[in-house]
């Protein structure tokens, strides 16, 4: 079974912030309804791209995301290479996408937490750019709300993200990187 992890922070306060792009994308691709809760996360087990997968959104706050991921990995016996984490990237222009495997955290505390809890960086990352102008204070910037125009730009990438995830499920990560890292 493969697992898709959308990173973000729970609660209305963080809804539509730049740091919550993983939640925005998983809701956009898999729907915002019918989530269940277990292991400090919202989750769905669904058929997607003709395969049974699990989708999670950790509710532990970004810096502790790895705790929820680790519990699902252990319970469902998921290999790290079968995990795709959707997360924001402050170094990419707004809504640009980069897919990596065996990549570092690049200063992203959610990725750092997952790597620490799993003991490896051998999972895949779908990075979505949030940079839009000059960033003076990274912490304030990632917790700021996306404005209407930025949200529209991000929502316009949902179909592309869905296609990349279908490739991850049905093909392999090399195919996905070759076909989606040029946008």
Looking at the annotation, which residues are catalytic?
19
2, 78 in Cβ contact below 8 A? yes
**Encoding tokens for residue 181?**
């890292």
Chain-centroid distance of CA 111 in Å reads 10
DSSP string, 78-146: --GGGEEEEEEEEEEETT-EEEEES---TT-HHHHHHHHHHT---SEEEEEEEE-S--S-HHHHHTSBP
Dihedral of the alpha carbons of 134, 140, 141, 142, in degrees to the nearest 10: 150
Phi, psi of 164 (to 5 degrees): -65, -40
Residue bearing tokens 């691709």 = 29
| C-alpha separations of 65 from 5, 30, 60, 118 in Å | 10, 20, 6, 11
- DSSP for residue 9: -
């Amino acid at each position: 079974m493969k697992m898709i992890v959308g990173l973000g922070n729970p609660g209305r306060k963080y809804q539509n912030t730049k740091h919550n792009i993983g939640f925005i994308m998983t809701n956009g691709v898999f729907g915002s309804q019918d989530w269940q809760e277990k292991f400090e996360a919202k989750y769905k087990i669904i058929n997607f791209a003709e395969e049974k997968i699990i989708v999670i959104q950790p509710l532990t706050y970004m810096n502790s995301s790895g705790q929820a991921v680790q519990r699902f990995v252990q319970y469902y016996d998921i290999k790290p290479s079968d995990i795709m984490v959707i997360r924001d990237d402050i170094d990419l222009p707004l809504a640009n996408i980069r897919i990596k495997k065996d990549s570092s955290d690049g200063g992203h505390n959610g990725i750092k937490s997952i790597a620490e809890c799993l003991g490896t960086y051998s999972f895949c990352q779908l990075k979505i750019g949030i940079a839009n102008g000059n960033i003076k204070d990274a912490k304030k910037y990632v917790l700021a709300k996306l404005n209407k125009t930025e949200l529209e730009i991000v929502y316009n990438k949902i179909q592309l993200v869905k296609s990349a995830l279908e490739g991850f499920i049905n093909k392999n990560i090399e195919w996905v990187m070759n076909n989606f890292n040029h946008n």
